[in-house]
Structure 1
């Protein structure tokens, strides 16, 4: 039975596209005790009408300022849903790529942290060197370096902006650890502590 008398655990996996977030989220759902719902960027993009794509998946660069107010509302809706699940005792894993590289600073991450105030949140940084990201992009999407052999600017922007401000409860590197090993570290942190505090610190940031 679900522990309705206590809030569900929330795990937020933050990293660039192709960093391995989804694989870790799947293992958490399949192996961690209890019910784990995956509420993240892929699910929200699937629900987003075509004219508003890529929704919360909007990459850094400020290329679509007209979409940014809607993106802010979508993030709010996603985190309100995460909070609602947790409050009724359902665990949530979130794979997402937070950044503030919009046309103007939007402060989305601190605002999302405030929505989850009082709920148990473990914020995990999913790192992967850009060279490995490029390899995975080529393997998955057949899209890689520019004609001049350079790393595309959008990929560089993701790599920089996604880990600002860099406040995490736990950080893993998927280029040297398997998804299973990363999930195991997350499980150990939940079991042995110390208590997470990253979202408390982010919540108090000025925006």
Structure 2
């Protein structure tokens, strides 16, 4: 079995530029790299399901749980992996921390000013207006990253270069391990869970 490569786990709101950055990273990095997007799972549902707020709420939780559980299988392919994620729930964070235990995961915060997010959201036309504002204070509430990138001031090329430099630096990722330790302290007996 191939030895797993480092993982870049991008976390940011809708329209923050994660996809563009990830694609540019794939171009810049010197070997084949996998792009795992939470949206690729969500859009397995037809649009009429996603447009119905009540149905959407029912179907997204089990589907995102399946995405989180699939991550170690993707990483074990032996290629570098860049994950595109919107961390809206502490439950999802717990699932990702559990499923990616034992792998080198760089937790990267992808930030952008709210005004710019809303401008992009309207300009693109393929995003529900208001998502970025709703997500803005939720996705970065965990407060621990190995790297933070501001897409409001940097080009996609410069953002991808920062990711390349992070991997080339040889610095070991620490954010996921710190978050795991916090999770353990919060549940010292490991018998309680917030998962649904």
The interval holding the TM-score normalised by the smaller chain is 0.7 to 0.9
Bigger shift: 194-203 or 183-192?
A: 194-203
Indicate yes or no: 2:174 matched with 1:197. Answer: yes
Q: TM-score, normalised by structure 2?
A: 0.81
Indicate yes or no: 2:100 matched with 1:123. Answer: no
For 1:4-23, list aligned pairs within 5 A: 4-23=1-20
Question: What is residue 140 of structure 1 aligned with on the other side?
Answer: 124
Indicate yes or no: 2:103 matched with 1:114. Answer: no
Where 2:39 maps in the other structure, the secondary structure is helix
Q: Tell whether the 8 Å contact from 1:82 to 1:92 is kept in structure 2 after alignment.
A: no
Question: What is residue 78 of structure 1 aligned with on the other side?
Answer: 67
For 1:88-99, list aligned pairs within 5 A: 88-99=77-88
**What is the CA-CA distance between 1:133 and the residue it aligns to?**
0.9
Q: Tell whether the 8 Å contact from 1:99 to 1:164 is kept in structure 2 after alignment.
A: no
**Cα displacement string for residues 36-65 of structure 1 (whole angstroms, at most 9, x for unaligned residues):** 1211122112212456537xxxxxxxx75x
Equivalent pairs counted in the alignment come to 184
Question: What is residue 44 of structure 2 aligned with on the other side?
Answer: 47
Indicate yes or no: 2:15 matched with 1:38. Answer: no
Q: TM-score, normalised by structure 1?
A: 0.77
**What is the CA-CA distance between 1:136 and the residue it aligns to?**
1.0
Question: What is residue 103 of structure 1 aligned with on the other side?
Answer: none
RMSD: 2.7
Q: Tell whether the 8 Å contact from 1:39 to 1:78 is kept in structure 2 after alignment.
A: no
Distance 1:117 1:143, change over 3 A: closer
The whole-number CA distance in structure 2 between the counterparts of 1:33 and 1:197 is 24
Where 1:163 maps in the other structure, the secondary structure is coil
Question: What is residue 159 of structure 2 aligned with on the other side?
Answer: 182
Bigger shift: 163-172 or 184-193?
A: 184-193
Query: Unpaired segments of 5 or more residues in structure 1?
Result: 55-62, 101-105, 146-151
Richer in helix (by share): 2
